[in-house]
């Protein structure tokens, strides 16, 4: 492993405008998954700390003009953008070290560089473009006479944002920017595996912006249940959660008592459908996707659907590609794949691989920890062939570098297999004919579909899923709506 650059992580939380230690004084370790070395410590917040943050966010929403002052919000968000740009290098190095994110995805991809380019700037511009109020045509009511109607969109209130470890900065900054741009206050609870990106955001807010005290709060904790206080608190109006389907269902259940508004971006088991007229050598390269960040992405296509007539040809190509996938030290800019985030996650992935073998799929490539990487939580690029869609490796989200290759008979069969999933987050379709690819894509029941290599990753494109992949959308105007309530006013027309 190359020697990792020295980082200077912020160990404190942000509560009511101040960078603070945990009330108890406790901290917990942050471990680099590539080296298994501790890279720093961070405040280990408790339920008491979380309740203080919630109370601060409630007070800031109720007692300041943050919710109504559009120009001030844009000003503060621009300060946040500028402040994060100033610490871009430190942010990048922290994400590489705490998440095991490959440098190529941090410096030139969705871990840091892409969200830093548009996650805040797009919402700033949208503040001026968004239809905050709409006037409907006047009507004549028999009881009240001529009536004018106005439909307003207003902030939901206090947002509890709970974020995952796989793309920590990207997910956190998208939630923070959209919640703030729409006039809400927020309490951010990052995953215990990746707290430093969040405390760096906190430090920038505290030291480089005019965001009022309490508008943004960041609580770090080794205890996942501290985040559940956001779901249970009657002072929190909305939960914005990205993570596993199991936790999303728990949030939905626990939030029912206080009628929480929910945005849940959950798991996926996306299918890449390669039609029989596709340029197979090019199309099969989508198999590399499971290597990107070790397959730790909710929208990664982990099922490859190949026409039965070209199955052997496609498998040969995929095995050749993934056998040569560059992986290892995430500090190396040539590697597309680093470690899994933790020893626990590695054991979980290896358990899924073992079940795939037990179920009768053919382990055609990989399947274990790489012998040449004895340190770090690595798993080899892994390919299963002869996979049936009913097998666990084809139906369950593995969140590792594991590809299941499935044969299909015709377009209808491909659509049936792709849709035969409890998930519905994303997918891909590739064909030599755009019309044919679009016809198949329109039948796929997922929130996003990439067609013939098209990318849906953009700040103006709504992202989210059908079925067990979640509720609601982030990004675009739909993402703004996620953090807003609708109020209708009716008054006499003059």
At 445, is the secondary structure helix, strand, or coil? coil
Decide: 231 and 51 in contact? Cβ < 8 Å.
Answer: no
d(CA 277, CA 98): 43
Decide: 482 and 461 in contact? Cβ < 8 Å.
Answer: no
Catalytic residue among 76, 238, 291, 298: 298
Decide if 265 is catalytic.
yes
d(CA 14, CA 22): 10
Catalytic residue among 10, 126, 228, 265: 265
Structural tokens at position 232: 């249970």
Cα→Cα distances 476→35, 118, 456, Å: 38, 11, 12
Decide: 41 and 28 in contact? Cβ < 8 Å.
Answer: yes
For 137, other C-beta atoms within 10 Å of its C-beta total: 6
DSSP state, residue 132: S
**DSSP letters of 5-55?**
PP------EEETTEEE--TT--EEEEEETTTTEEEEEEE---HHHHHHHHH
Cα→Cα distances 300→63, 110, 122, 214, 417, Å: 43, 13, 24, 36, 17
| Residue pointed to by tokens 């503060």 | 76
d(CA 461, CA 478): 8
Phi, psi of 155 (to 5 degrees): -60, 145
At 262, is the secondary structure helix, strand, or coil? strand
Non-local CB neighbours of 14 within 8 Å, separated by 6+ positions: 20, 199, 202, 203, 205, 206, 216, 217, 218
3-state SS, 54-111, equals HHHHHHHHHHCCCCCCHHHHHHHHHHHHHHHHHCHHHHHHHHHHHHCCCHHHHHCCCC
Decide if 298 is catalytic.
yes
Residues noted as catalytic: 265, 298
């Amino acid at each position: 492993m190359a020697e990792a650059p020295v980082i200077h992580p912020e160990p404190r939380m942000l509560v009511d405008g101040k960078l603070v230690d945990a009330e108890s004084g406790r901290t917990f370790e942050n471990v680099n998954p590539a080296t298994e070395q501790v890279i720093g410590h961070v405040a280990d917040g408790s339920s008491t700390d979380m309740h203080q943050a919630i109370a601060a966010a409630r007070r800031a929403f109720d007692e300041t003009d943050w919710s109504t002052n559009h120009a001030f919000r844009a000003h503060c968000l621009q300060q946040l953008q500028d402040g994060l740009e100033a610490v871009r290098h430190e942010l990048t190095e922290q994400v590489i070290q705490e998440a095991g994110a490959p440098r190529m995805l941090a410096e030139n991809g969705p871990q840091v560089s892409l969200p830093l380019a548009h996650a805040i700037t797009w919402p700033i511009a949208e503040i001026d473009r968004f239809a905050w109020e709409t006037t409907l045509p006047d009507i004549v009511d028999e009881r009240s006479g001529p009536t004018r109607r106005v439909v307003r969109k207003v902030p939901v209130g206090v947002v509890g944002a709970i974020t995952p470890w796989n793309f920590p900065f990207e997910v956190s900054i998208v939630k923070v920017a959209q919640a703030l741009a729409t006039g809400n206050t927020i309490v951010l609870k990052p995953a215990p595996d990746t707290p430093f990106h969040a405390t760096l955001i906190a430090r920038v807010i505290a030291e480089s912006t005019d965001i009022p005290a309490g508008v943004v709060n960041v609580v770090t904790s080794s205890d996942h249940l501290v985040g559940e206080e956001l779901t249970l608190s009657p002072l929190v109006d909305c939960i914005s959660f990205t993570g596993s389907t199991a936790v999303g269902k728990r949030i939905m259940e626990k939030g029912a008592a206080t009628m929480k508004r929910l945005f849940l971006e959950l798991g996926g088991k996306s299918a890449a459908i390669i039609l029989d007229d596709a340029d197979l050598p090019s199309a099969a390269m989508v198999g590399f996707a499971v290597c990107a960040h070790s397959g730790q992405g909710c929208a990664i296509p982990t099922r490859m659907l190949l026409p039965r007539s070209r199955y052997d040809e496609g498998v040969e190509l995929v095995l050749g590609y993934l056998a040569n996938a560059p992986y290892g030290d995430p500090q190396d800019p040539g590697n597309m794949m680093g470690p899994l985030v933790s020893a626990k996650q590695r054991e979980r992935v290896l358990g899924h691989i073992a079940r795939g073998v037990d179920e009768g799929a053919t382990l055609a490539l990989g399947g274990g920890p790489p012998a040449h990487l004895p340190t770090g939580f690595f798993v080899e690029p892994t390919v299963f062939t002869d996979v049936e869609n009913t097998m666990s490796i084809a139906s369950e989200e593995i969140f590792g570098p594991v590809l299941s290759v499935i044969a299909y008979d015709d377009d209808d069969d491909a659509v049936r297999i792709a849709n035969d999933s409890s998930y519905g987050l994303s997918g891909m379709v590739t064909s030599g004919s755009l019309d044919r690819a679009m016809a198949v894509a329109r039948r796929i029941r997922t929130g996003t579909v990439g067609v013939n290599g098209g990318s849906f990753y953009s700040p103006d494109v709504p992202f989210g899923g059908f079925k067990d992949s979640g509720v609601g959308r982030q990004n675009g105007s739909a993402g703004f709506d996620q953090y807003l309530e609708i109020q209708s006013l009716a008054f006499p027309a003059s």
